[in-house]
């Protein structure tokens, strides 16, 4: 058993140093700071894309703090919830500011996370040895979606109520267990006080705990293997005499200053939205949500908040006509796997059986069920990215030039899906959404082939860095 040892300091040492020494001898505070940030060596060629991880942490703190103050006055009761939100907005000192910070923070969170994921796509941050970091990140994204969905019901406005009604009813499309699953989620046969209470419990307690755990795991895994960089070079493979990476610099103070600047710019934009456009034209806060929930009056157009709409568009695009094209696509994809891969015969056989079962299911179950499946798969497929990308290099900088256009087409398709999701469906919009859905899934499912094609550029031995 190791004996307790406390570092001896001079008698005239500052009080702060003595206090820190007292804590360090009982808890590794300084060690944690140095390991996770203070003496954590990061690549010296970070660009602005690397600010969004820190911004995500900032927004998480904003959401937790503002959420705590909102809970002090919010009533999780179907008869009182809407009135309590109005009370917060009108009568609680600075309540309107806290509420708008929280509602704007929800959208800001997804904007920052989407940009953070975009950086990961561009620079191959999901590639070996960072697969687990990426999986934790996908887990954070899924939990964040659940947190936002449950929080969306709490104001008990018209769009909150009917949006929850539509989304929960989607689970009813699952064969055999769907109706019971929907009933279990709602806690009643319709969205009611029971639904509001359980969503409140999950939004305030359960889901944030899972989210914080995943964030901690994400950061620990990141600092274990080291950060990626725009060149996709592993800086730990080139160490100096001091044992630190030659192309690395301590995160503090270099990236502390970098992050403070980014945080300042972000807070300026965030404050401008909170004070001058908190509804953001109905995208951040829908106008129907300023009306109390009415189970007897359905809004003309029900749509989720903007950050869910790309996946909601995929759901709506799954029509009977779309299923015919999907069946052809499944057959063509299986043929491609059989002819153009070197997988073991057993694996090819398993893929063929799964495809056959899916094809049979497409004739048995209605398009609504397959829409729910595709909506779920469109999110879950992100987790397979480390194993779908067969590129010789990580960063887009050293990939063939035409790869940039593949990413660009994918990004445009995703944005179009998001835009179409907030609009009422028409035959023309549905057709565009169906095309974009095929582009979305094609980007991932065809990645094993297109990511390995073309003339790759040589990757330098050292990171490219231009001081300024």
Is 403 assigned to a binding site?
no
Q: For the chain, give the longest Cα–Cα distance.
A: 82
Three-class secondary structure of residue 294 per DSSP: coil
Question: How confident is the model at residue 1, as a pLDDT?
Answer: 55
Q: What Å distances lie between residue 261 and 43, 61, 227, 266, CA to CA? A: 18, 18, 20, 9
pLDDT at residue 376 greater than cutoff 90: yes
Query: What pLDDT digit, counting tens, does each position of 24-40 carry?
Result: 888 888 888 888 888 88
Ligand-binding site membership of 252 (annotated): no
Decide if pLDDT at 343 tops 60: yes
pLDDT at 125 over 70: yes
366: helix, coil or strand?
coil
Residue 116, annotated as binding a ligand: yes
Residue 65 has pLDDT above 60, yes or no: yes
Q: Is 468 known to sit in a ligand binding site?
A: no
Angle between helices 256-276 and 52-71 (to 10 degrees): 50
**Looking at residue 263, what is its pLDDT?**
96
Please say whether the beta carbons of 296 and 116 come within 8 A.
no
Is 258 within any annotated ligand binding site?
no
Average pLDDT value for residue range 143-165: 94
- Supply the pLDDT for residue 468: 58
The per-residue pLDDT for range 196-245, each reduced to its tens digit, is 999 999 999 999 999 999 999 999 999 899 999 999 999 988 888 888 88
Phi-psi map region of 126: left, alpha, beta (phi>0 left; psi -120 to 50 alpha): alpha
What's the pLDDT at 9? 80
41, 245 contact by CB (below 8 A): yes
Does pLDDT of 11 surpass 90?
Answer: no
Q: What is the pLDDT, as a whole number, of residue 40?
A: 87
CA–CA dist 47, 426 (Å, integer): 42
Q: Report the alpha-carbon distance of residue 70 to residue 105 in Å, rounded.
A: 13
pLDDT at 17 over 90: no
Which range is least confidently modeled, 79-93, 258-272, 300-314, 430-444? 300-314
Nearest to 456 by CA among 407, 397, 416: 397
**CA distances (Å), origin 462, targets 159, 202, 233, 246, 459:** 53, 47, 7, 9, 9
Which band of pLDDT confidence, cut at 50, 70 and 90, is reported for residue 147? Answer: very high
What are the tens digits of pLDDT across the range 386-408? 999 999 999 999 999 999 999 99
Domains within the chain, CATH numbers bracketed: 37-290 (1.20.810.10), 306-450 (no CATH)
What are the tens digits of pLDDT across the range 255-307? 999 999 999 999 999 999 999 999 999 889 998 999 999 998 888 888 889 99
For the chain, the average pLDDT equals 92
């Amino acid at each position: 058993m190791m004996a307790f040892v406390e570092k001896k300091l001079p008698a005239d040492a500052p009080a702060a140093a003595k206090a820190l020494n007292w804590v360090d001898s009982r808890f590794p505070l300084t060690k944690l700071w140095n390991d996770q940030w203070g003496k954590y060596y990061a690549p010296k060629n970070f660009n602005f894309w690397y600010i969004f991880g820190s911004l995500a942490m900032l927004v998480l703190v904003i959401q937790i703090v503002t959420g705590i103050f909102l809970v002090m006055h919010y009533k999780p009761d179907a008869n009182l919830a809407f009135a309590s939100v109005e009370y917060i907005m009108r009568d609680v000192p600075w309540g309107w500011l806290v509420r708008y910070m929280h509602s704007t923070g929800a959208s800001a969170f997804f904007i920052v996370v989407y940009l953070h994921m975009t950086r990961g796509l561009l620079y191959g941050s999901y590639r070996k040895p960072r697969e687990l970091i990426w999986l934790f990140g996908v887990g954070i994204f899924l939990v964040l979606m659940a947190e936002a969905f449950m929080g969306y019901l709490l104001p008990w406005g018209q769009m909150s109520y009917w949006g929850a009604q539509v989304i929960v009813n989607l689970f009813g499309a699952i064969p055999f267990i769907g109706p019971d699953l929907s009933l279990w989620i709602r806690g009643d046969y319709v969205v009611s006080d029971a639904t509001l209470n359980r969503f409140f419990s999950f939004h305030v307690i359960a889901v944030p705990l899972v989210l914080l755990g995943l964030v901690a795991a994400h950061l620990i895994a990141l600092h274990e293997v080291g950060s990626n960089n725009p060149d996709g070079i592993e800086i730990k493979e080139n160490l100096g005499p001091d044992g630190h990476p030659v192309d690395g610099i301590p995160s503090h103070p270099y990236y502390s200053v970098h992050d403070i600047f980014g945080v300042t710019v972000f807070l300026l934009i965030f404050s401008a939205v909170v004070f001058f456009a908190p509804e953001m034209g109905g995208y951040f806060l829908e106008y129907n949500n300023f009306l109390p929930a009415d189970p007897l009056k359905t809004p003309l157009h029900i749509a989720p908040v903007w950050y869910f709409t790309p996946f909601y568009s995929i759901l709506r695009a799954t029509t009977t006509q779309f299923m015919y094209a999907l069946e052809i696509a499944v057959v063509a994809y299986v043929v491609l796997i059989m002819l153009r891969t070197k997988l073991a015969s057993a694996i090819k056989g398993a893929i063929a059986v799964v495809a056959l079962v899916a094809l049979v299911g497409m004739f048995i179950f209605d398009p609504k069920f397959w829409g729910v499946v595709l909506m779920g798969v469109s999110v879950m497929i992100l987790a397979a990215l480390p194993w779908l990308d067969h590129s010789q290099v990580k960063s887009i900088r050293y990939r063939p030039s035409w790869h940039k256009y593949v990413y660009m087409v994918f990004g445009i398709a995703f944005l179009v899906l998001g835009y179409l999701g907030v609009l009422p469906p028409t035959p023309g919009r549905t057709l565009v959404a169906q095309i974009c859905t095929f582009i979305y899934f094609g980007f991932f499912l065809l990645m094993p082939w297109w990511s390995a094609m073309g003339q790759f550029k040589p990757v330098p031995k050292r990171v490219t860095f231009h001081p300024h």
